[in-house]
Amino acid sequence: MLPSFSVTIPCYNEAGRIGDTVRSTLNYLSAESPDAELIVVNDGSTDSTAAIVREVLAGAKIQTRLLENFPNRGKGAAVRSGLLAATKPIGLFFDADLSTPLSEIPKLIEPIANGQVDVAFGSRALDRKLIGVHQPWRREQAGRVFNFIVRLATGMPFWDTQCGFKAFRLDVSRPILEKAHTIGFAFDVELLFMAHRAGLRLREVPVRWNHSEGSKVRVVHDSVAMLREVVALRLNG
């Protein structure tokens, strides 16, 4: 059994899969951590995402909440809303597409619960044999270039800052979550950069991962925006 922790799932126009994702998460948590908490953050969806989530959560056997961000504020804002609302000692967030299987959760929760680290985050780069379905070549190469630039710009020694699978010991991470302001897709970099600068113990953990269609990231447009955010992070220190 896993210790008590909170799960945050940010979602924006995910009506096609959010029902299955929430059901699978509830089943996993009920079996592996009955004292866990599930927080779904609807980031201004214009489809039936919120209605589907409410219907699924109605039958939950664990503590649950649906938070509403209106209008759409960005993934970074949604993740921080969920983590800051968490009531358990450890906060985990992952993407609505379940690209990283739920069975990988102990890899992040256990090191934090055991007092070994303060932040644990999934990585596709440390062991690429764990990747089942790869992203399209162009998107995968763009990700590698982005992470290389992140290493140069921030001085952090990590190889994959963008995997949407991260956990935090909330008593020491809450001040960082409160101060962070990046709402776009580079919010991961900001959280890790601030934690690194604050002297928290970070661990990059190789995880299984599969590309899922329907990503909200636009390779060219969002890559440029993310690079701007990383540069601003570095300049602002």
pLDDT at 232: 65
Q: Which pLDDT score is estimated for 234?
A: 59
- The token duo for 139 is 């998107």
Q: What is the pTM of this model?
A: 0.91
Rounded distance between C-alpha atoms, residue 232 and residue 237, angstroms: 8
Q: Give the residue ranges of DSSP H helices in the chain.
A: 18-32, 49-57, 75-85, 105-113, 137-154, 170-179, 187-197, 219-236
Question: Domain-by-domain residue ranges, the chain?
Answer: 6-236
Give the tens place of pLDDT for each residue, 54-106: 999 998 999 999 999 999 999 999 999 999 999 999 999 999 999 999 999 99
CATH number of the domain at 6-236, please?
3.90.550.10
Does the bond joining 71 to the residue before it have cis omega, within 30 degrees of 0? yes
Dihedral-angle region of residue 98 (phi above 0 means left; psi in -120 to 50 means alpha; beta otherwise): left
- Split at pLDDT 50, 70, 90, the class of 215 is low
Per-residue pLDDT reduced to its tens digit, 115-154: 999 999 999 999 999 999 998 888 888 888 888 888 888 8
* Least confident residue range of 110-119, 130-139, 211-220: 211-220
Alpha-carbon distance of 79 to 165, in angstroms, equals 11
**CA-only gyration radius of the chain, Å:** 17
Per the CB < 8 A criterion, the answer to whether 163 and 209 are in contact is: yes
Strands 6-11 and 37-43: parallel
CB 215 within 8 Å of CB 75: no
The proportion of the chain whose per-residue pLDDT surpasses 90, expressed as a percent, equals: 76
Q: What is the dihedral of CA 187, 190, 195, 196, to 10 degrees?
A: 130
